[in-house]
Amino acid sequence: MKYKYNEGSLKIDLDEEIDMKSCKTLRCVIDGYIMRYQPKEFVMDLSKVSFMDSSGIGLIIGRYNLVKLLNSTMVVLNPSNNIKRVLELSKISRNIIMRSE
């Protein structure tokens, strides 16, 4: 995982599977960055994520709820077609911005 903060935007590049095993650590680290920078825009780049289970949906929903408390927006960047479909089925895609670069 890499992060970059620039002029109100916090970007997290995830590069591993998002499953029950990885979510606890990811949640703590990402929340730490969000609380440290309190960005106006929070971006999760999923271009290198090959697999995400229901724990990953929980991870995304939880981070959305946190940035919403900060009056920020959330972007999920470059989700694979499978991950995009899972997010659409979970209805979280109504609240976050999904885009590809």
Please state the domain extents for the chain. Answer: 2-99
SS (H, E, C) the chain: CEEEEECCEEEEECCCCECHHHHHHHHHHHHHHHHHHCCCEEEEECCCCCCECHHHHHHHHHHHHHHHHCCCEEEEECCCHHHHHHHHHCCHHHCCEEECC
Chain mean pLDDT for the chain: 94
CATH 3.30.750.24 is the classification of domain 2-99: yes
User: Which tokens sit at 43?
Assistant: 């971006």
- The yes-or-no verdict on residue 69 having pLDDT over 90 is yes
Task: Quickly state the pLDDT bin for 100 (edges 50, 70, 90).
Answer: very high
Compare 82 and 66 and report the one with higher pLDDT.
66
